[in-house]
A and B are shown apart, each in its own frame.
Chain A
């Protein structure tokens, strides 16, 4: 479904991704964890070319992602949920949800709104269709952002630290929605610090440090007997 092949990324002198190879299968829930600055977000952002790899290739459905075809490949396959939500503040919630389906997939207003209301219900915010995003709490905004990603009906959704900007008490409402989604046949790639979520939802966990994948495996393997010293250290600190 998604394949990263020998991906390297430099910011000037800084080598943030070092020969990253990673494959995500259809329907798989992949969770990427690791310390800050380890390249987790950059890895996910390379999957839809928000960051263009300095070298190496990205494949979506077997097709090589390039600057030329990225708009179409993304439109047909990928959605994304951001740390900062990035809802469109000048549009109502409903408009946020129907914009891409109407303008990019050429659905009628009626079809798009039906879809929007359906996914608003999925995230539990049916009553917020006509308000503006900035009037909502962080947790609500992120659930709307998830509904927006769902409205595109993409087979892959990328989550870039979706709960890192939230108040502690609203984190769970977002995680609950994501857990619900994980039961569907959507391919999910999630960068997160939420270990409980990773354990519960992930088919596979990838641990990154210093721009490299240093360990990967099932949640059981990961949390019960990690091999790498760096991973043990990290888990020791983060699990309270």
Chain B
């Protein structure tokens, strides 16, 4: 019944296709919100890290170190259960969006920081010596140059966000992985392990593969141009 060549198992997955579609849409929804949040956090903290102001640098550093050096699963559990038990239940989907967003915000911050730091110091000095303030310097001179360096690893982070929505499983999420698991262990639907996980994996692959490809091509082009 569970075998990969079992026609019955495939038929069952097809019959319950709505479950997979729902999980897929939830995963996309959580990913989209988490990406936006992580971008906002990443840009703000990345700018803080390169601001040259000790306090800002410190705040950014502490955030990045704490978030990068504790597991995402723990952060999700902490946010969801700690809030729930203190009477501020926020729902699984919002908890997922926020925790995955916060987690990847730390990685985005590093991507932004590295991109900005890679621009030679002379560029900022030329801008300052022309009378540009911080915003003008960033907007006209530093960011247009660093964006090409930032984008490829940023797209890779987006792929990681999508895959890491699977951690919602720990709080009983409604994402693709969680719904797949409920499906294969369900009293009425159980058993079709191989087809279910294949389909689930395929759905992840369909969104993640093109994104990684885009990032890869971008990176290759960048290297090619630098060689010239």
Contacts and interface: CB of A to CB of B under 8 A. Distances in A.
A220 to B, nearest CB: 32
A183 interface: no
B70 interface: no
A76 B120 CA distance: 25
B141 A76 contact: no
Contacts of B144: 90
B126 A71 contact: no
A99 B145 contact: no
B133 A84 contact: no
Contact of A88 (B133, B136, B141): B141
Contact of B140 (A74, A78, A103, A148): A103
Contacts of B122: 82, 84-86
Interface string B125-138: 11011111100100
Interface string A26-61: 000000000000000000000011100000000000
Interface in B49-88: none
B123 A82 contact: no
A82 B141 CA distance: 16
A103 B136 contact: yes
Given A99-B140, A103-B140, A86 B132 contact: no
B141 A71 contact: no
A104 interface: yes
B145 A90 contact: yes
Contact of B129 (A79, A85, A88): A79
B123 A79 contact: no
Contact of A74 (B120, B129, B141): B129
A72 interface: yes
Given A84-B122, A103-B136, A104-B136, A78 B145 contact: no
Contacts of B141: 88
Interface in B87-141: 120, 122-123, 125-126, 128-133, 136, 140-141
A231 B133 CA distance: 40
- Interface size range on B against A: 10 to 19
A79 B136 CA distance: 16
A187 B129 CA distance: 16
A89 interface: yes
Given A88-B141, A103-B136, A104-B136, A50 B125 contact: yes
B130 A100 contact: yes
Contact of B128 (A74, A76, A89): A74
Contact of A75 (B120, B123, B126, B131): B131
A65 to B, nearest CB: 13
A104 B132 contact: yes
Nearest to A73: B131
Contacts of B145: 88-90
A82 B140 CA distance: 19
A69 to B, nearest CB: 11
Nearest to B126: A86
A93 interface: no
A45 to B, nearest CB: 8
Contacts of A85: 122
B125 A86 contact: yes
A175 B136 CA distance: 31
Contacts of B130: 74-75, 79-80, 99-100, 104, 148, 152
Nearest to B141: A88
Interface of B: 120, 122-123, 125-126, 128-133, 136, 140-141, 144-145
Interface of A: 48-50, 71-72, 74-76, 78-80, 82, 84-90, 99-100, 103-104, 148, 152, 158
Given A82-B125, A84-B122, A104-B131, 18 more contacts: A48-B128, A48-B129, A50-B125, A72-B131, A74-B128, A80-B130, A82-B129, A86-B126, A87-B126, A88-B123, A88-B126, A88-B141, A90-B144, A100-B132, A103-B140, A104-B130, A152-B131, A158-B129
